[in-house]
Amino acid sequence: MAAAKPTIEVVTAGQVEALAVRALEEAAADPGAVVPISRSRARAWAANPQAGPDEPVLLVARSEGRCVGYLGMFPTLLATGEPGETGTVSWLSAFFVLEELRGQAVGALLLMQALSLGRSLAVAGPAEEAAALYAAVGFKAKELTYLRLDVTRERNWLGLPLRTVRKTLQKAERPVPALLDRSITGCARGTAFGLTRALAGAARRRFGPWQVRPGALSAEATGAEGAGGRPGFVRDDAVLAWMLASPWVTTDRAWSDSRYYFDDHRLASVRQVVELRPPSPGAAPGWAVAWFDVTPERRRIQMLDAYLPGDPEARAEGLTVAALRLAVEHGANQILLPAECGPALARLGRLGSLFSAATRVDYHRPATGSPEATALAALQPSFLDGDGPYA
What is this structure's pTM?
Answer: 0.87
* Rounded mean pLDDT, 177-194: 76
Residue, of 102 and 13, whose pLDDT is higher: 13
Q: CA distances (Å), 385 to each of 102, 203, 360, 382, in order?
A: 29, 27, 11, 5
| Res 221 pLDDT > 50 | no
Confidence grade of residue 275 (pLDDT, cut at 50, 70, 90): very high
Note the pLDDT tens digit of each residue in 80-115: 888 888 999 999 999 999 988 888 889 999 999 999
Note the pLDDT tens digit of each residue in 357-367: 999 999 999 99
* Rounded mean pLDDT, 128-143: 91
| Res 224 pLDDT > 70 | no
* Rounded mean pLDDT, 355-379: 92
| Res 227 pLDDT > 80 | no
Handedness of CA 242, 247, 253, 257 (dihedral sign): positive
**367 close to 172: Cβ distance less than 8 angstroms:** no
The secondary structure of 106-166 as a DSSP string is HHHHHHHHHHHTT-EEEEES--HHHHHHHHHTTPEEEEEEEEEEETTTTT--TTHHHHHHH
What pLDDT score was predicted for residue 278?
93
Note the pLDDT tens digit of each residue in 236-272: 888 888 989 989 999 998 888 778 888 889 999 999 9
Domains of the chain (ranges, CATH numbers): 7-139 (3.40.630.30), 146-153+192-360 (3.40.630)
Confidence grade of residue 72 (pLDDT, cut at 50, 70, 90): very high
What pLDDT score was predicted for residue 225?
40
d(CA 336, CA 249): 18
Residues 6+ apart with CB under 8 A from 181: 166
d(CA 172, CA 121): 45
Confidence grade of residue 159 (pLDDT, cut at 50, 70, 90): low
What pLDDT score was predicted for residue 199?
95
**89 close to 363: Cβ distance less than 8 angstroms:** no
* Rounded mean pLDDT, 271-290: 91
End-to-end CA distance of the chain: 33
Give the helix/strand (H/E) hosting 299.
strand 299-307
* Rounded mean pLDDT, 271-283: 91
Confidence grade of residue 1 (pLDDT, cut at 50, 70, 90): very low
Helices and strands, number each (H, E), in the chain:
10, 13
The secondary structure of 269-283 as a DSSP string is EEEEEEEEE-SSTTP
Confidence grade of residue 290 (pLDDT, cut at 50, 70, 90): very high
What pLDDT score was predicted for residue 151?
81
d(CA 204, CA 352): 13
What pLDDT score was predicted for residue 156?
61
| Res 228 pLDDT > 70 | no
The DSSP symbol for 248 reads S
| Res 195 pLDDT > 80 | yes
Share of the chain above pLDDT 90, in %: 54
Greatest mean pLDDT among 197-201, 216-220, 254-258: 197-201
Residue, of 384 and 86, whose pLDDT is higher: 86
| Res 148 pLDDT > 70 | yes
Residue, of 36 and 162, whose pLDDT is higher: 36
* Rounded mean pLDDT, 34-52: 94
Residues 6+ apart with CB under 8 A from 167: none
Q: Which residues lie across from 292 on neighbouring strands?
A: 270, 301
Chain mean pLDDT for the chain: 88
What pLDDT score was predicted for residue 263?
81
| Res 385 pLDDT > 60 | yes
